[in-house]
Structure 1
Amino acid sequence: MYAQERQRKIAERARAEGRADVAELAADFDVTTETVRRDLTVLERQGLLRRVHGGAIPVERLGFEPGLADRDAVLTAEKERIAKAALAELPDEGSILLDAGTTTARFAEILPSDRELTVVTNAVPLVASLAVRPQLTVLLLGGKVRGRTMAAVEDWTLRALADTYVDVAFLGTNGMSAERGLTTPDTGEAAVKRAMIHAARRVVVLADHTKAGNDCLARFGDLSDADVIVTDSGLAPELEEQLAAAGPEVVRS
């Protein structure tokens, strides 16, 4: 078994059981404990697990949400592939919603220059780069800026979204599962994401494979609220089947 596949299975087990034990993993995968510790270090650097004595715990179980810079530095190739694949869902003209997040930020970077679009977003870091593009009209949703994600949230944001209706909303998520739907750690961001779903004719979720099978504190939608989920080739086949069975088209990039 290749290291990447073993690490994926370790992360999946940690999410399912709430903890990954070094000795048990070494026995089950027939590798040394040193190999497992190296795997756990890789997964911690990817922001998926937090090392503890004797093993590791998935970060969502700790109520820990990595900051924007930490999340932006992991799974970069997967996020870029997801962003490119999501371009197929972009209208030729009209209006879109861009959610805050590292994968949606990569999507924003590659918006084509030949389309006249109105871009509505709560992602403060995106505004400076998007506003200088002559073919784009950029509308920033106001509200309290959450420092960890640099997303505008709370009442001002929700009031603006209540009067907004776009062609396509491109959303990020921290978790997506057949049991709990679409989830995120922060209740304020969950409320904004929920409002974005209601403010769009079509909803496209951009999420790398580590989000599948993951559940966070605050639920903001059902899987069926998404028309399309764009993910990467690391998604396990059984998880892909579970996601697709709930209604959305699943696109692997």
Structure 2
Amino acid sequence: MFAEERQQRIAERARTAGRVDVAALAAHFEVTTETIRRDLTALERQGVVKKVHGGAIPLERIGFEPTVAARDAVQTAAKERIAAAALAEVPAEGAILLDAGTTTARIAQAIPADRDLTVVTNDVLIASLLAAKPRLTVLIVGGKVRRRTMAAVDDWALRALAETYVDVAFMGANGISVERGLTTPDTGEAAVKRAMINAARKTVVVADHTKAGNDCLARFGTLDQVDVLVTDTGLDDDLAADFESADLKVVRA
């Protein structure tokens, strides 16, 4: 097994269990404890976990978030497939909303340049990507920009979204579960995400399988507010069945 694949699995175990143990990981992967410690160091540098005595804790569970650069380097192939599949939900014309995030940024990149769309976003980086496509009308939601995610938040953003109504909102999430719904570590972003869902006729959540079953600090939506979940083939069959039993359409790209 390549180190990158092992580290990805370690990150998934950390998010699922809330903590990973060096000795247990070494036994599971049949490698030395030194190898596991190097893996955890690499994941900590990526902003995925925080090393603690004897193991590591996922940053989401202790109120931290990885930076945009760190998140953009994780699950890249899955995010590309998710974005391609999500394009089926983009109308030929009308208005859509793109939440801040690295998966939604890939949707922005993939939107055909000949679409007559109005795109609303609170993501500074996404707005700059869309501005290069001349047939799109790009509206950026104002507010205080969080440097960690490059998302505009707070009252300015909420006021703009209260006067907005779009055909489809494409939402990211740090966690999605049957028990807690849609969650994110930051309360300011949660408020904006909640307003985005309320501003849309249809809601599509785009999230790779590592977010499934994960719960973060702030809830911003329930599963009955979501029409479609677009994820990847790494999603566990049992979790997929749980989501579908909650009347959520699941697309595994």
TM-score using structure 1 length: 0.90
SS in 1 for 2:129: helix
Aligned mates of 2:42, 2:248 — CA distance in 1: 31
Aligned mates of 1:247, 1:43 — CA distance in 2: 35
C-alpha spacing 1:58/1:159, structure 2 compared with 1 (3 Å): same
**More displaced 10-residue stretch of structure 1: 236-245 or 167-176:** 236-245
- What is the CA distance between 1:18 and its match in structure 2? 2.6
Contact 1:47 1:74 (C-alpha < 8 Å) held by counterparts:
no
Q: How many residues align?
A: 253
Identify the residue that residue 224 of structure 2 maps to in structure 1: 224
Residue 121, structure 1, aligned to residue 121, structure 2: yes
**More displaced 10-residue stretch of structure 1: 31-40 or 212-221:** 31-40
Identify the residue that residue 67 of structure 2 maps to in structure 1: 67
- What is the CA distance between 1:190 and its match in structure 2? 0.5
Gaps spanning 5+ residues in structure 2: where? none
- What is the CA distance between 1:9 and its match in structure 2? 5.5
Gaps spanning 5+ residues in structure 1: where? none
Identify the residue that residue 199 of structure 1 maps to in structure 2: 199
- What is the CA distance between 1:238 and its match in structure 2? 1.8
C-alpha spacing 1:46/1:237, structure 2 compared with 1 (3 Å): farther
Any residues of structure 2 matched to 1:171-182 within 5 Å, and which?
A: 171-182=171-182
Contact 2:48 2:66 (C-alpha < 8 Å) held by counterparts:
no
C-alpha spacing 1:129/1:36, structure 2 compared with 1 (3 Å): closer
- What is the CA distance between 1:28 and its match in structure 2? 4.7
Contact 2:15 2:210 (C-alpha < 8 Å) held by counterparts:
no
Identify the residue that residue 134 of structure 1 maps to in structure 2: 134
Identify the residue that residue 50 of structure 2 maps to in structure 1: 50
TM-score using structure 2 length: 0.90
Aligned mates of 1:129, 1:28 — CA distance in 2: 42
Contact 1:46 1:75 (C-alpha < 8 Å) held by counterparts:
no
Residues 109-129 of structure 1, C-alpha deviation per residue, up to 9 Å, x if partnerless? Answer: 110122100101111112223
Aligned mates of 1:98, 1:225 — CA distance in 2: 16
Aligned mates of 2:232, 2:216 — CA distance in 1: 20
What letter corresponds to residue 195 of structure 1 in structure 2?
A: A
- What is the CA distance between 1:205 and its match in structure 2? 0.7
**More displaced 10-residue stretch of structure 1: 233-242 or 78-87:** 233-242
Aligned mates of 2:45, 2:63 — CA distance in 1: 17
Contact 2:46 2:66 (C-alpha < 8 Å) held by counterparts:
no
Aligned mates of 2:16, 2:70 — CA distance in 1: 24
Aligned mates of 1:233, 1:41 — CA distance in 2: 28
**More displaced 10-residue stretch of structure 1: 42-51 or 171-180:** 42-51
What letter corresponds to residue 177 of structure 1 in structure 2?
A: S
Identify the residue that residue 150 of structure 1 maps to in structure 2: 150
Aligned mates of 2:40, 2:51 — CA distance in 1: 7
What letter corresponds to residue 94 of structure 1 in structure 2?
A: G
Identify the residue that residue 185 of structure 1 maps to in structure 2: 185
C-alpha spacing 1:131/1:27, structure 2 compared with 1 (3 Å): closer
Contact 2:223 2:246 (C-alpha < 8 Å) held by counterparts:
yes
**More displaced 10-residue stretch of structure 1: 167-176 or 49-58:** 49-58
- What is the CA distance between 1:215 and its match in structure 2? 0.8
Residues 209-247 of structure 1, C-alpha deviation per residue, up to 9 Å, x if partnerless? Answer: 111111111100012211111111121222222222222
C-alpha spacing 1:43/1:243, structure 2 compared with 1 (3 Å): farther
Residues 66-115 of structure 1, C-alpha deviation per residue, up to 9 Å, x if partnerless? Answer: 11112112221111111111001111110000111111011101101221
Aligned mates of 2:87, 2:208 — CA distance in 1: 16
- What is the CA distance between 1:13 and its match in structure 2? 4.0
Aligned mates of 1:238, 1:34 — CA distance in 2: 34
Aligned mates of 1:21, 1:170 — CA distance in 2: 36
- What is the CA distance between 1:132 and its match in structure 2? 3.4
What letter corresponds to residue 237 of structure 2 in structure 1?
A: P
Residue 161, structure 1, aligned to residue 161, structure 2: yes
Aligned mates of 1:71, 1:10 — CA distance in 2: 16
